[in-house]
């Protein structure tokens, strides 16, 4: 397509440079980690200031994130790639996991280390949250649904009915959200998607109720294979879709909020520092900061007058009340 979403335009030269940096970093890491393997046990003075990063399957992202974390944490805290051996040897060291698979890996270790889960959805983390044992917390990656719903309301002020597609058995998870939405004058209803076979049937019913569809972060419902169909059905019925994430805006979703990686790193460093001071991890949170990404071309197609993303972001922040991080339930 000719019109790319505003914030994603990058020149080819820029891409090439980033890729080259990524490549060089991979090489540097390989060299670095083999060097590290020779002195596996760190010295005493770095002991309490060691953070291990259990990366995702995306090596380039891992490198970039470790760099970011190092920058935000400063020189006194050592950040290293996680291996089970190091973690076993340093059971007190905090492990930062990137993504659901990394968290799963770390949590399956025979002695579980204190863990801060990043790049993970609230839903995914709920599976681990109530385990006893060493400290465990998270910085959620998925945008909080209240924030997403309010973004939809800002874009469509006359729309006050919200539809959500959910998987069977998940319905009660949204009770609190529905109450919160009511305090903003928004009404929400859930439509269950029993299986992929009745996705469109449920969606069609959802669209007869909702002024907009609030997409929950559920890979079984919203994924690259289903999103095109969902969007076409919604747009043909003159309904918009908000969320679930930034990549979906590129695929044609009207708008979403998202957390920039820098903000995740900042939120993580606050948790890490708190842990290093007290030995305890603050509760799981959605990062306070967020950005708004919109798709102007889709808005034009739907004849929806849409403010600038920065304006929506400011309005949304004032609506949510600045400064308070939303605590997890």
Partner 1 sequence: MSLLTPNIKKYLAAALLAPLSSVPAQVLADNLVAALDVSDAFAEDYGFLLEAPVPEVLTTTKLRQPKSRVPGTTTVIQGQLIRDLGILNLVEVFRLVPGMTVGYVGSNRPVTSYHGTVAYDQRRLQVLIDGRTAYLPSLSGVDWNTMPVALENIERIEISRGPNAAAYGINAFLGTINIITRSPEDTQGVNLHTSYGSRGHKNVFGSAGNVSDDFGWRLSYERRDEDGFDFQVNDDTLERETVHDGYSLNFFNYDARKTLSSVHSLDLRAGVTDGIDEEDKGRIGDEFGAITDPDVDVRDYYLQARWNYAPLENHYLHVQASYQNYDRHQKWRTCPPGFGFCADTNQNIEESRLELEIQDTLILNPDLRLVSGLGYREDRFNSDTFFNGNGSNYQSRLFSNVEYTPIQWLTFNVGANWEDSNTLDNEVISPRFAANFQLAENQTLRFVFSKAVRTPDAFEQGADWGYRATNVEPDALAFLEGMRVGPVFQAPGTLDEERIISREISYFGQFRVGDGLLSTEIKYFYDHLRDIISGHLSLGEWDLDNNVALDQKGFEVETSLEYPDTQLRLTYAYMDQDGEYTGEPVADEQEFIDLESRLTARHSGSAVWVQQYGFDISSALAYYFVDEFRRGQFERADLRLVKNVYTPRLNYDVAVIFQYYLHDIPPISRNNIIKDRNQVFLEAGLRF
Instruction: Say if residues 213 and 206 touch (Cβ distance below 8 Å).
Output: yes
Name which of 83 and 297 has its Cβ closer to partner 1.
297
Name which of 94 and 186 has its Cβ closer to partner 1.
186
Q: Return the SS3 of 262.
A: helix
Task: Name the nearest CA neighbour of 268 among 329, 216, 313, 325.
Answer: 325
Name which of 208 and 278 has its Cβ closer to partner 1.
208
Nearest distance, CB of residue 4 and partner 1, angstroms: 7
Task: Name the nearest CA neighbour of 118 among 45, 191, 56, 75.
Answer: 56
Nearest distance, CB of residue 235 and partner 1, angstroms: 4
Instruction: Say if residues 66 and 53 touch (Cβ distance below 8 Å).
Output: yes
Instruction: Say if residues 255 and 293 touch (Cβ distance below 8 Å).
Output: yes
Nearest distance, CB of residue 110 and partner 1, angstroms: 24
Name which of 129 and 247 has its Cβ closer to partner 1.
247
Task: Name the nearest CA neighbour of 264 among 53, 101, 15.
Answer: 53
- Is the dihedral angle over the CA atoms 322, 68, 224, 294 positive or is it negative? positive
Reading the block at residue 326, the tokens are: 């939303």
Nearest distance, CB of residue 26 and partner 1, angstroms: 10
Nearest distance, CB of residue 270 and partner 1, angstroms: 19
Name which of 61 and 276 has its Cβ closer to partner 1.
61
């Amino acid at each position: 397509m000719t019109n790319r979403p505003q914030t994603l335009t990058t020149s080819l030269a820029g891409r090439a440079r980033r890729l080259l940096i990524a490549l060089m970093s991979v090489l540097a890491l390989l060299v670095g980690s083999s060097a590290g393997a020779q002195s596996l046990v760190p010295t005493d003075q770095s002991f309490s200031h060691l953070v291990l990063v259990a990366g995702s399957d995306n090596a380039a992202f891992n490198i970039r994130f470790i760099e970011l974390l190092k920058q935000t944490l400063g020189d006194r805290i050592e950040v290293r790639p996680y291996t089970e051996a190091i973690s076993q040897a340093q059971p007190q060291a905090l492990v930062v996991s990137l993504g659901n698979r990394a968290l799963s890996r770390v949590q399956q270790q025979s002695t579980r280390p204190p863990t801060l889960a990043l790049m993970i959805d609230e839903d995914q983390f709920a599976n681990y949250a109530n385990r006893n044992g060493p400290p465990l917390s998270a910085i959620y990656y998925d945008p909080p649904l209240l924030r997403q719903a309010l973004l939809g309301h800002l874009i469509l002020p006359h729309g006050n009915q919200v539809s959500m597609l959910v998987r069977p058995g998940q319905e009660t998870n949204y009770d609190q959200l529905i109450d919160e939405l009511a305090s903003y004058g928004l009404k929400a209803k859930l439509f269950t998607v029993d299986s992929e076979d009745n996705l469109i049937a449920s969606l069609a019913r959802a669209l007869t109720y909702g002024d907009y569809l609030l997409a929950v972060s559920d890979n079984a419902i919203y994924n690259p294979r289903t999103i095109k169909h969902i969007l076409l059905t919604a747009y043909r019925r003159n309904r918009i879709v908000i969320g679930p994430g930034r990549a979906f805006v590129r695929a044609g979703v009207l708008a979403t909020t998202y957390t920039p990686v820098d903000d995740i790193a900042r939120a993580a460093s606050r948790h890490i520092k708190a842990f290093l001071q007290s030995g305890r991890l603050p509760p799981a949170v959605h990062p306070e900061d967020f950005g708004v990404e919109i798709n102007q071309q889709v808005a034009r197609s739907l004849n929806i007058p849409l403010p600038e993303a920065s304006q929506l972001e400011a309005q949304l922040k004032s609506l949510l009340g600045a400064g308070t991080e939303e605590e997890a339930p």
